[in-house]
Amino acid sequence: MGIDTHDVRGYVEPVLELWTRLLSQVQSHRRILMAAGYYSDDLADVFLRYEEMVVFCKTATEKQLAGIELNAEEYEWLRWFGAKVERWTLDILSLDQNIPIYDRRYDGQTYDSTLTMKDVWLKSWYQVTGPDRDLACVADVANSGELCLEEAVGHLDEVYIVVPIGGELRMTRGAVFSYMNFNMPLITA
């Protein structure tokens, strides 16, 4: 049996408490930034799109938990969700449009290598470099004696899950953080 590529349907992980709390945080952060005078038109657009994505996920979760089928427009919205998140992320990184660029200038005889700030409007995720592009993160969480406990999330792993969509069980693919913890020697200065 082949896959009908015209009938690709997504699924929102139905954790209603997550979407409810996330929506509350978005609204709280907006109020805080407005009160502090940091809420620009560009930032308002970013917040509006983020809130729209969170509201969509919350609504989809409520429907899924109630056994109500998402409609064709919602499935199409969900189909392009990753692209929406990518565009939103690029817009956040571009808010000040002032990206550090390693610039090599040649005056005819020598190169002058300097790190400068340059206005850049990010058009693709491939333009993002450094820590903004990598999800991996390690943190010291506890120490005892001569050991330090490190916890880390690594790169994303693929996960396959069977979920109910349209009254039948379907195989879906998604991503989860890899997780690890390990002991390291405690280094003191």
Confidence of residue 70 (pLDDT cuts 50, 70, 90): very high
Output the average pLDDT for the chain. Answer: 80
Q: What are phi and psi of 162, to 5 degrees?
A: -90, 125
pLDDT in tens, 85-136: 888 887 777 765 544 444 455 566 655 555 454 555 666 666 666 666 677 8
3-state secondary structure of 93: helix
pLDDT in tens, 9-53: 888 989 999 999 999 999 998 898 888 888 888 888 888 999 999
C-beta separation of 185 from 147 below 8 A: yes
| Domain ranges across the chain | 1-94, 134-189
Q: What is the DSSP letter of 71?
A: P
Distance between CA atoms of residues 137 and 151, nearest Å: 8
Global model pTM greater than 0.75? no
